[in-house]
Structures are given as structure tokens and as C-alpha cells.
Structure 1
Amino acid sequence: MSSSILTPAKATLSFRVSQVPVRYAGRKPEASGDPKKDLIRRILYPSNLRNKPTPVGTWRPEVGHLLQRAIPSKQAHETIERAWNLHLRHTRWKREAELARKFECMRKAMEELEKIDSKLYMGANKVEDPRVWTAAELEKSSQLRGAEKRAFDWRIRGLFPRELRLPTDTPSRNGWDYQWKPLGESV
């Protein structure tokens, strides 16, 4: 009975809780057999133990000290922050200028299309609801069955058709045609 009662000395001992996440508790380490892959995996995905720094920066207790050594003053740190924000601002301005240039080119092209052919211009600017079907599409869908009907129903108008087979230089699905002869060649 005395063995089940904790003594005061044992009651004050703190229990060390494992710091490994629960999601990895049931997994056994995978041995890929290749030591290079294991080394890369350990470097990229370090353990989540909090007693040492990890190389990818998920937990680094010495960061404050290292920053203090690299950038000794708050003024230098703020100067670097301002320079970085200035760089981001200039990058944003360049991106916005490039988008404005592209938009202006598109606007000029649309004005030129309007001058050349107003019918094509109206067709290019027509707003269509992809959920609404035309009478021709309804007629076509009523004639289709099975997978073809589902593919037709799922297609979003205006997008490139997913079921279109691209022309390639691969052999046909039926195999090799041994009786084929080029045009103009006689036996």
C-alpha cells in the first residue's frame, strides 16, 4: 500500500513532457535506404524538439543575440527596415506601371478594333453569363448521353475545352497501320 502513495520528494518531481507533436506519435521513422535522402530530409524537416535551434528558423533562441551582434543599434535596424520598405515600394510601382502599360496597349487595340470592325468589337466586349445556355446548346445537350453529357454540362463556356485532344506525334491508339502507303507510291 505504501508503494502506491507518493512521497513528498516524488510529488515535487516535474514530469518531462515529450515535445514531439502528437501527429507523429504513431509513425515509425521511414528508412528510405538512401543516406543522402535521409540527410536531406533531416535538414529540411528537423524534429520539433525545443531544446536546440532548427536550421529552417522555426525555433531559434539565439536570434536576438545574433541580431544584436549583426546590427548593434536600433537606429541601424530602423534604417534597414526603411530601406527594405523603399525597395518594396519601388517594386510595387514598377509592377503597377507595367500593368498600366499593358492596360493602355489593350485599350488602344480595342479602339483600333472598333474602328476596323464594329461587329467584332461588340462580340469581343459582349458580357456572357456562363451559366446560361443558348438554344443550340440545349438542343445539343438533349442529344448527348452518359459521359459526353456530363462533360458537356461541366464545361465552362469561353474556356479552352478540356476534352479536346491535342495533336501529337505519338502513335495512334489503334496501333500501327501496316497497310499504309504514302500518296503517289506504287507497290
Structure 2
Amino acid sequence: MDAAAQKTPEGLVEVRDGGRHGFWLGVGVGAGGESFGVQSGPGYSDVLYRPTISVRLGGTVSQHLRLGGEVLSWINENGPAVESLSSALFVAQVYPIASTGFYLKGGVGIGRNAVQFEGGFDTGDTGFAGLVGAGYELRLGRRIYLNPVIDFVGHSYSDRFDGSYKERLVNFGLGILLQTGS
């Protein structure tokens, strides 16, 4: 075969080395199903699906591990009030098979359940948050990936007036991931 036949056609990008390396940044949107349960109650409430947004960034330790931080928020506009369920987490993404984009994710951090009213008044609770999930990085170009995810997030709160309660969120998201390096 001659050299001209092996050349990348004009207008296409040749992608070499599918490895993970360097710093990364991801942004995403999704649909999240939220429900809550009080300690003395019969279980969790009905699931309420609303939009989610996420931002995450970090560094690559190896082909099998990425570490970073993630902020994930579920938002419900309800008349004059905006309810939110947000998590700020330290996350680890483990790639069981380095040659694929599939990963498992776990994280721990702080959760915030809040309601903001027109006029600036807001109320809420802060507690513990944990996350488990899975995703896939589908390469679109040299440094950009399409990133579908599913995350299961749990929050635990100790309310000073009404006792303890929990929130949970199932998030189906789609994001864009950018990675430094070649």
C-alpha cells in the first residue's frame, strides 16, 4: 500500500491513543427522580422527576482511576418557590477495563436540601451525601467525550425541629467531558 492510501482523508480527525491522562472537566444535564423519607414514616415519598445539572473536574491517576470533585443539583420550580437538592462530592471513577470507556463511580460529601422563596428568603438543611453510579465515555474527538451516566445519590439529615430524614435521587444524565493532553 502506498503512503497516499494510508493518509487520513481531509476533514477527518485521526484519533490516536485512547488513553486517559491529565486533567478533566465535565458538564452535564439530566432528569433526576427525587424522593424523601422521614425516620418515623412509612417509607419514601413518590418519585418526582425534574431537571438536574452537574459539573465535575479532577485529575487522572492511572488508566484505571480518575479522582475529582462533583457538584450535582436537582431543581424543582414550584410556584413562588424553588426547591433544590444539591451534592458537593469527592468522587472516584474506576475503569475496570482500561481499554473501554465504561466506569463505576463512588463519592462522599455534603448534601443540601433547600427551598428558596421570592423575595430572597430561603430555608434548608445540610447533611451527609453519598453517591454510586456508572457511566461511559464515548470519544467524539481527540479531547472530547460524550458521557451518559446513571447516579444514585443519598442524603441524610438531622433536622433540629422534626427529627431525621433522608432524600434520594436517581439521576439519568448526559454530559460532555473534556480532557487535557493529546
TM-score by length of 2: 0.16
Structure with the higher fraction of residues in helix conformation: 1
Larger radius of gyration: 1
- Relative to its length, the structure with more strand (as a share) is 2
State the structure with bigger RCO (CA 8 A, min sep 6), 1 or 2.
2
